[in-house]
Amino acid sequence: MRKTRFFIMAFVLVGIMFIFSGCAYYSDSFDFEFKGEYMADKYVDLLIPLDETDEFYTPYNCNIEGDIKIPENSEIVKYNKDGFRSMLMHIKESKLHISIRDSEHYSDSHEKYNGTPSEIRQWIGVPYYEGRHNDPYNTEMFLEFCNKYKKCRVAVFDNNGNILQISKKIPIVSLGNFYLQDISYNVEKNKIKPYYVTPVEISIFTLIAWLFSIVGSIGCIITLIVYKINHNQWDRTYKNYIIASSLFNVPSVLLIIVYIYTAFGKSLTIADFFINLLTILINVNVYVISVPITILTLSFFVFREKQLRLKTFLEEKHRAESLDISENM
């Protein structure tokens, strides 16, 4: 029993470590990833619902890495449709960062070296206002920004500030407080794939539910094995085991509901929902592993008991037949 208690305590400690290390992480920027060279001399922007009375509004803010200056009278600066304006040009101290991975410098990772950009990343940082928040990672400002503006469009513009294309409207905060973080943008087809961060509350609930299920299920299995060893018999009744393991696996059912909710919150279309749900279930199947473990354990004992009972029955039948033969002789 000491080993059993030690095992359970160790599992609890590991689970607690997962809880504190596995919480959702919010960045302070919106990250874009592009393939190919099309975006090498073009820039991305977020169009958000913004008016001149906004506390963060400024008539002109051009802060693009590399000291790139966009004319004040350009299209991206003057854009104002349905109340949506440029975040990059009208939010105080917002900045566009650019990272270009050249195949010249990363030629070993490409079959065909041609000296063109292999990957271009751009990200727009949410402004950090000193004294407004005490969060060194700017998480509070990021969440405040998302909850305030809620919707956005993605715009692509050139060096002269001419808008080349604008995407459809997407949520910055999706249903259930899923926050926009990374964006995969197929600029040529003007197709956007947003990636949302799961709320911290759901991450913590998932880990606690998993910890409860796995520790409880393993406890049930160990108790069953110890009982069988101590009593040295196969008992056909597994009522207590079935009830206990079922109760401990209730969180697994709740987790499946949470996964469906998560997939829905991270999706823009019905197709996205099914794709996201399948991806989530594949990636987090470890969280519902207690269900097959308890079922397989029960199946093993039932099958083994059936074998032993059949063996006992055959032995008794053989013994009875032997006695009959002896009496007849």
117's tokens:
């950009």
Give the three-state DSSP class for 32: strand
CA distance 243 to 294: 11
Three state DSSP letters for 251-270: HHHHHHHHHHHHHHHCCCCH
Contact 27, 181 (CB under 8 A): yes
What pLDDT score was predicted for residue 62? Answer: 87
Report which listed range, 82-86, 90-94, 179-183, is most confident.
Answer: 82-86
Torsion angle, alpha carbons of 13, 14, 15, 16, to 10: 50
Query: pLDDT tens-digit profile of 104-135?
Result: 544 444 444 445 555 678 889 888 776 666 66
What pLDDT score was predicted for residue 134? Answer: 66
CA distance 146 to 91: 13
Give the three-state DSSP class for 173: strand
CA distance 198 to 261: 11
Read off the DSSP letter of residue 116: S
pLDDT band for position 79 (50/70/90)? very high
pTM of the model: 0.67
CA angle 294, 206, 143 (to 5 degrees): 170
What pLDDT score was predicted for residue 182? Answer: 85
